């Protein structure tokens, strides 16, 4: 599949809930895993391949996994500032502040409900990919101060 790049309007749209995990959705999940690996990504969301549905791929400790309708049910108040990039925003890497740990509820491709406790990089991937489902890019999370600082120092 082809990766949609900023400013493609699909990246700014809110994705739709998946009502039923059909064979079409399972095949979409498999294609997204392949696309992510081919592009050396560590996460991928539906809108990035032009599909406005709530589906993401996340690199778990065991390998890439597909999650359907993921929701962050809680996030830590403690934050981390780490450099981030995105396959849809090539060549730009910025430090983004995010919760250090999150709890996520989602469905697997088999339709099983799972609750995942993630911290560090994994927590960051979930937050980044779920942002995509809400039409938010990591560059939208940079403060004005940081943007000005970069502008002055380029
Ligand atoms: Zn991204």
pLDDT in tens, 96-124: 999 999 999 999 999 999 999 999 999 99
**Ligand 1 centroid, distance to 58 Cα (angstroms):** 11
Residues less than 5 Å from ion ligand 1, measured at CB: 86
**Ligand 1 centroid, distance to 106 Cα (angstroms):** 19
Residue 147: which pLDDT band, with cuts at 50, 70 and 90?
confident
Alpha-carbon distance of 154 to 149, in angstroms, equals: 9
Residue 154: which pLDDT band, with cuts at 50, 70 and 90?
low
Contact 55, 43 (CB under 8 A): no
**Ligand 1 centroid, distance to 45 Cα (angstroms):** 7
Q: Exposed e or buried b for every residue in 91-116, given b needs 16+ CB within 10 A?
A: eeebebebbbbbbbebbebeeeeeeb
**Ligand 1 centroid, distance to 37 Cα (angstroms):** 14
Give the 3-state secondary structure percentages of the chain, helix then strand then coil, rounded to 5: 30, 30, 35
pTM here is 0.94
Residue 151 confidence (pLDDT): 73
Alpha-carbon distance of 83 to 97, in angstroms, equals: 9
* 31 vs 145: which has the higher pLDDT: 31
Catalytic residue list: 129
Tokens representing 97 are 């502040």
Alpha-carbon distance of 50 to 143, in angstroms, equals: 28
Supply the Cα-derived Rg of the chain in whole angstroms.
Answer: 15
Residue 13 confidence (pLDDT): 98
């Amino acid at each position: 599949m082809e990766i949609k790049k900023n400013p493609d309007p699909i990246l700014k749209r809110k994705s739709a809930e998946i009502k039923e995990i059909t064979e079409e959705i399972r095949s979409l999940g498999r294609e997204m895993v392949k696309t992510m690996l081919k592009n050396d990504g560590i996460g991928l969301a539906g809108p990035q391949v032009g599909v406005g549905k709530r589906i993401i791929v996340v690199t778990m400790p065991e390998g890439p996994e597909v999650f359907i309708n993921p929701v962050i049910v809680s996030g830590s108040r403690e934050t981390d500032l780490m450099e981030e990039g995105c396959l849809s925003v090539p060549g730009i890497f910025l430090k983004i502040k995010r919760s250090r740990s999150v709890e996520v509820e989602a469905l697997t491709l088999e339709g099983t409900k799972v609750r995942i406790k993630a911290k560090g990089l994994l927590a960051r991937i979930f937050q980044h990919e779920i942002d995509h489902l809400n039409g938010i890019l990591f560059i939208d999370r940079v403060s004005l101060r940081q943007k000005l600082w970069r502008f002055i120092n380029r």
